[in-house]
């Protein structure tokens, strides 16, 4: 897409996924290691866990599409981390 309206969040998500989870991804996936509490807190601090939630509930009030862009970038690198973001934005966390 030539004019990606989500380029900034996509870039940040890709960078975090690659730098933080890239080195851990294979072991997490193979060993079915869940995302730790500390990792989950970091994802929350970056704003990835409440993208699609209204601001009055602690989210950013952004669109579900924006949340799915983040899930997509993490899914390219680390499925367990992507699942945490997906779950936090679309279902129970």
What CATH number is attached to the domain comprising 32? 1.10.540.10
54 part of a folded domain: yes
30 part of a folded domain: yes
2 part of a folded domain: no
Torsion of CA 58, 43, 71, 36, to 10 degrees: -120
35 part of a folded domain: yes
Question: What pLDDT shows up at residue 92?
Answer: 65
- Provide the domain limits for residue 11: 7-90
39 part of a folded domain: yes
CA-CA distance, 21 to 15, in Å (whole number)? 10
Question: What pLDDT shows up at residue 68?
Answer: 95
Q: What is the pTM of this model?
A: 0.88
Give, for all 93 residues of the chain, the pLDDT tens digit.
446 889 999 999 999 999 999 999 999 989 999 999 999 999 999 999 999 999 998 889 999 999 999 999 999 999 999 999 999 998 765
């Amino acid at each position: 897409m030539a004019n990606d309206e989500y380029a900034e969040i996509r870039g940040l998500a890709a960078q975090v996924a690659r730098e933080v989870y890239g080195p851990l991804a294979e072991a997490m996936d193979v060993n079915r290691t869940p995302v730790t509490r500390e990792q989950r807190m970091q994802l929350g601090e970056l704003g990835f866990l409440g993208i699609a939630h209204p601001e009055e509930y602690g989210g950013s009030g952004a669109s579900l599409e924006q949340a799915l862009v983040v899930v997509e970038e993490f899914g390219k690198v680390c499925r367990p981390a992507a699942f945490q973001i997906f779950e936090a934005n679309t279902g129970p966390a």
